[in-house]
Amino acid sequence: MKGITLPQEGSYGVGMVFLPMEPNARYYCEGIFERILKEEGQELIGWRDVPVNDKACGVSAQGTDQLCSKFLSKIMNQITLHLSVSYTLFVNV
């Protein structure tokens, strides 16, 4: 993710989610995801679409095509910071 300055080591996490391909549905889901991150004491740093080789997928998998995205999240809450970042991200997903 170019142009992003990472917070102090140990105070951020990386996660991966599958989102709808249709732009309006995708933005709606991203908004919900960002709201939940905030409720859990985190701040979204940024999104990144993960490149996918569609030709490697079978016919049935191509019929359910989704967008694979990574996100970076900064832990803002000091209580949450003392918990495992992995656990906190898992709760949100």
Structure-token match 């701040």, residue found: 43
Beta-carbon contacts of residue 72 (< 8 Å; ≥ 6 apart)? 1, 4, 6, 12, 13, 14, 44, 45, 46, 48
Task: Determine the pLDDT at residue 10.
Answer: 76
pTM of the model: 0.70
| pLDDT tens track for 21-30 | 899 999 999 9
Q: What is the pLDDT of residue 60?
A: 74
* Whole-angstrom distance, CA of residue 91 vs CA of residue 40: 9
Q: Tens of pLDDT along the chain (93 residues)?
A: 667 888 888 788 888 888 988 999 999 999 998 998 888 778 899 998 888 777 777 777 666 777 889 888 887 665 555 555 555 555 544
